[in-house]
Amino acid sequence: MDGSRESDPDHDGAADPPTHLLHRTYDWSVTAPIVAIAEALSTLVDATSTEIAPVQSSVDGDALDRVLRSSRDGDARVSFPHGDYVVSVTGTGDLYLFAR
């Protein structure tokens, strides 16, 4: 067996979900989502937040904040592309970065 998913008789051939490059958990009542995203991207690319493209160029920070804070039971999930990455945030405070 070569370890590939195709060798697995239980694999249905569907594409595997993408693996995240970075995962962080935040309390949106303490840290604004737009700030958390900038910090996470800065960490991932080893740069300061002023050296990366402004997150506001990809998403409306105020609207994102409203959606995440107003979701019932934290069921909201917002994903959007930003540069070479896809950002995904949830109402429960999870932030994921994926390769685009």
pLDDT surpasses 60 at 7: no
| Rg (the chain; Cα; Å) | 16
pLDDT of residue 15: 65
Q: Give the mean model confidence (pLDDT) for residues 64-77.
A: 88
18 contacts: CB under 8 Å, gap ≥ 6: 86, 98, 99
- Round the average pLDDT of the chain to a whole number and report it: 85
Mean per-residue pLDDT for 44-68? 92
Q: Which of 29, 26, 46 is nearest to 37 (CA)?
A: 26
| pLDDT level of residue 69 (50, 70, 90 thresholds) | confident
Domain boundaries, given as residue ranges, for the chain: 18-99
